[in-house]
Amino acid sequence: MILLDANAIIGFHELGVWNQIIKQHEVYIPSVVLRSEVFWYETTGGFRHSIDLVGAIGQTITELECTPDEIKDFSSKYNHPFLPEIHAGELEALALLEKQADFLFCTCDKAALVVLGFMGLSEQGISFEHLLQKTGLTKILVRKHTQAFFEEHISVGQRMRVEHFSK
Amino acid sequence: MGKDELIGIRLKVEREALSLKLQYVAAQLGFNNYQTLSSIESGERPARAWELMKLAQLYGRNMEFFLRPEQLEQQKQHVLWREQAQTEKTALAERKFLNLCDNFSRLKELSGETESDSVTFPITADALKLRKDQFRYVEKLADEYRRLLDLGGRPACALPSALENQLGILVLFLDLADGGSAAATCGPTGQAILVNSSDISWRRNYDLAHEFFHLATWDAFSQTEIYDKQASKSLPEQFADAFASALLLPADKVREECAHRITGGKISYASLIEIAREFEVSTDALLWRLVNLRLLARKDVIDTLNQKVLKEMELERKMKGQAGERPYLSAKYISLAIKTFLMGKISKAKLAEYVGIAFSEVPSFLKSFGYDEDEDYTVAFDTA
């Protein structure tokens, strides 16, 4: 059960592997990401390619949502001034992750990875590269999609967690 | 009263304050009918997270505003608008303006620039002298600021950056359409000026300099004095105009430019337009400055401004000027938002929210500022 954020969805589309991802995994997308963030992606030369996630709900993907209060409660828990600021879509994804332990969250956003590490949810994170491998795909990847990038920023969050809770 | 009901009431209050119709807002959210929104507002149906986020955007608020009622109690920061008459569009623009001021303050905090953000003017306007010496003092004040900010002989070009980088004033450009031309604010989130980006460049320059005067004299005049309508323009407004004129049109440089172009004791309309273009001000502003510098007679300027030929030439200049690139938000704000993102202090989706673009536009937005989101911009630094 894979929970994806906007970066990962667009990344898979850019690499042309979206169909393999949705075929081989149970894909879940937070409602804020699905309905307000991912509508298209751009390729070199400014060409826009549309992404219709809403039309795919119930067929190839599942929409998941939190109530505004759940997002508020979650953000209150992580609201430390030293942590990076993340968007409502990422907050929703992390709140969902906290509720459901069998989800694996795939993101390649530096700030979101730090928060994931800080919240003690590292085990529920999966890198873009690792997810591709699990799908049986090998691609040349940009830095943010690599396992190394994932580990680097998760560990920043983990260190912050240790420092914060050992005070 | 339940939480959903409270959120609903707040949503309704906000929508009505902006005079937005149920049907319009429902369509913006992609609802098939307005009853869905109506039931959210009455608390019958809870707002979903994405709906609340979109509604907040539409009403110029953030989600927190609806989720945390204590924010409603926040002290309101005063905004001084050029026009006293307020429309719903002005109200929305004011919310956006104050939100951006809050964001700017937050970005400074996240990027660690908080230490240097306290704004202290190198010179502060002396309210007593201002009232006593009036226009003479205003001229002197403009000269001092121009010198201290090192604005050079063509101040209009350097002014936005000087205000942002030397005085810490946030200079924002937003498309206000007919919601107002300019505004200034001074409060807990700092000092900021808002200018209508859809105005022509020389109007924007003038408005910026005008609002700068208001910030420099923020405590010198009451609102009643500023909006006093007994004369066609209140005295503080006349001062602000005189300040803008003196700041953007340095007396020595204007005299120099005119001297080059005078033949037989006369100066052509084309030359006047050329000088106005050089200084990035309107021809009207230049002509009145020439009166002020005693280079032209008031009566001649009134006659000149009514000349059909000059009007046509100015119109042509305006048409060309309107085709130019419009500024967006603020150079300092954008660079701070990008810096904060590259530092990993805000997520990519948050960057999109801060700069008001779609998530998918972020890569091309970054490229337009010379950044690639996939690059690592850190470099090993030897501190030994």
- Contact assignment for A111 to B360 by CB distance below 8 Å: no
Q: Tell me how close the Cα of A100 comes to any Cα of chain B, in angstroms.
A: 18
B266 has which bridge partners?
Answer: B263
Residue A79 pLDDT exceeds 80 = no
* B11 interaction partners in chain A (CB closer than 8 Å): none
Interatomic CA distance for residues B133 and B144, integer angstroms: 16
Q: Tell me how close the Cα of B25 comes to any Cα of chain A, in angstroms.
A: 15
Can you list the pairs that B318-326 forms with residues at least 24 positions away whose Cβ atoms lie under 8 Å? B318/B200, B321/B200, B321/B201, B321/B202, B322/B200, B324/B201, B326/B173, B326/B175, B326/B197, B326/B198
Interatomic CA distance for residues B144 and B292, integer angstroms: 18
Q: How far, in whole angstroms, is CA A7 from its chain's centroid?
A: 7
pLDDT tens profile A114-133: 999 999 999 999 999 999 99
Share of chain A above pLDDT 70, in %: 100
Residue B116 pLDDT exceeds 60 = no
Please name the residue that has the structure tokens 């030369």. Answer: A45
User: Is the Cβ–Cβ distance between B189 and B104 less than 8 Å?
Assistant: yes
Closest-CA residue of chain B to A33: B50
The amino acid that residue A13 corresponds to is H
Residue B122 pLDDT exceeds 70 = no
Interatomic CA distance for residues A153 and A10, integer angstroms: 20
Binding-face residues of A in 49-78 toward B, CB within 8 A: 65-72
A2-70+80-165, CATH topology level: Rossmann fold (3.40.50)
Binding-face residues of A in 103-132 toward B, CB within 8 A: 109-112, 114
How many CB pairs below 8 A link A and B?
A: 108
Closest-CA residue of chain A to B359: A37
Tokens coding B195? 């200018």
| E strand map for chain A | 2-4, 27-30, 40-43, 47-50, 61-64, 104-106, 125-126
Best of A33, A34, A36 to disrupt the B interface (most B CBs within 10 Å) is A36
Q: Tell me how close the Cα of B26 comes to any Cα of chain A, in angstroms.
A: 15
- Contact assignment for A39 to B358 by CB distance below 8 Å: yes
The amino acid that residue A26 corresponds to is E
Tokens coding A155? 């560990």
Closest-CA residue of chain B to A152: B344
* B348 interaction partners in chain A (CB closer than 8 Å): 6-7, 109, 111
Interface check for A139 against chain B (CB to CB < 8 A): the answer is no
* A80 interaction partners in chain B (CB closer than 8 Å): none
So what's the pLDDT on residue B188? 84
Written out in words, the top-level CATH class of the domain with range B3-74 is mainly alpha
pLDDT category of residue A72 using cuts at 50, 70 and 90: confident
- Contact assignment for A67 to B346 by CB distance below 8 Å: no
Q: Which of A38, A68, A85 shows the shortest C-beta gap to B67?
A: A68
So what's the pLDDT on residue B318? 72
- Contact assignment for B347 to A65 by CB distance below 8 Å: no
User: Is the Cβ–Cβ distance between B166 and B212 less than 8 Å?
Assistant: no
Closest-CA residue of chain B to A81: B110
For A111, the enclosing helix (H) or strand (E) is: helix A110-118
The amino acid that residue A162 corresponds to is V
* B109 interaction partners in chain A (CB closer than 8 Å): 81
DSSP tag of A29? E
Best of B63, B359, B373 to disrupt the A interface (most A CBs within 10 Å) is B359
Residue B359 pLDDT exceeds 90 = yes
So what's the pLDDT on residue B61? 85
Please name the residue that has the structure tokens 């080059």. Answer: B260
Q: Tell me how close the Cα of B127 comes to any Cα of chain A, in angstroms.
A: 40
Closest-CA residue of chain B to A39: B360
pLDDT category of residue B97 using cuts at 50, 70 and 90: very high
So what's the pLDDT on residue B161? 93
Q: Tell me how close the Cα of B107 comes to any Cα of chain A, in angstroms.
A: 10
Residues of chain B with CATH 1.10.260.40: 3-74
In this prediction, residues B38-59 reach a mean pLDDT of: 91
Q: Decide which of B84 and A159 is more confident.
A: A159
pLDDT tens profile A80-94: 878 889 998 999 999
Residue B118 pLDDT exceeds 60 = no
Q: Decide which of B244 and B228 is more confident.
A: B244
User: Is the Cβ–Cβ distance between B260 and B266 less than 8 Å?
Assistant: no
Tokens coding B302? 């009134």
So what's the pLDDT on residue B372? 85
Residue B384 pLDDT exceeds 80 = no
* A143 interaction partners in chain B (CB closer than 8 Å): 374-376
Q: Decide which of B195 and B92 is more confident.
A: B195
Residue B5 pLDDT exceeds 70 = yes
pLDDT tens profile B307-318: 777 777 777 777
Residue B113 pLDDT exceeds 90 = no
Distance linking the first and last C-alpha atoms of chain A: 36
In this prediction, residues B334-356 reach a mean pLDDT of: 94
Q: Tell me how close the Cα of A24 comes to any Cα of chain B, in angstroms.
A: 25
Question: Chain B interface residues facing chain A, Cβ-Cβ under 8 Å?
Answer: 3, 7, 46-50, 52-54, 63-64, 66-68, 106, 109-110, 344-350, 352-353, 358-361, 363-364, 373-376
Q: Which of B261, B275, B269 is nearest to B306 (CA)?
A: B269
Q: Which of A35, A41, A86 shows the shortest C-beta gap to B360?
A: A41
Residue B321 pLDDT exceeds 70 = no
Q: Which of A41, A87, A142 shows the shortest C-beta gap to B353?
A: A87
Tokens coding A154? 């998760």
- Contact assignment for B353 to A10 by CB distance below 8 Å: no
pLDDT tens profile B232-262: 788 899 999 999 999 999 999 999 988 888 8
User: Is the Cβ–Cβ distance between A43 and A49 less than 8 Å?
Assistant: yes
Q: Which of B180, B187, B177, B248 is nearest to B212 (CA)?
A: B248
pLDDT category of residue B172 using cuts at 50, 70 and 90: very high
Interface check for A7 against chain B (CB to CB < 8 A): the answer is yes
User: Is the Cβ–Cβ distance between B226 and B233 less than 8 Å?
Assistant: no
In this prediction, residues A90-104 reach a mean pLDDT of: 91
Domain ranges of chain A: 2-70+80-165
- Contact assignment for A87 to B106 by CB distance below 8 Å: no
In this prediction, residues B352-358 reach a mean pLDDT of: 94
- Contact assignment for B363 to A42 by CB distance below 8 Å: yes
Q: Decide which of B93 and B305 is more confident.
A: B93
Interface check for A86 against chain B (CB to CB < 8 A): the answer is yes
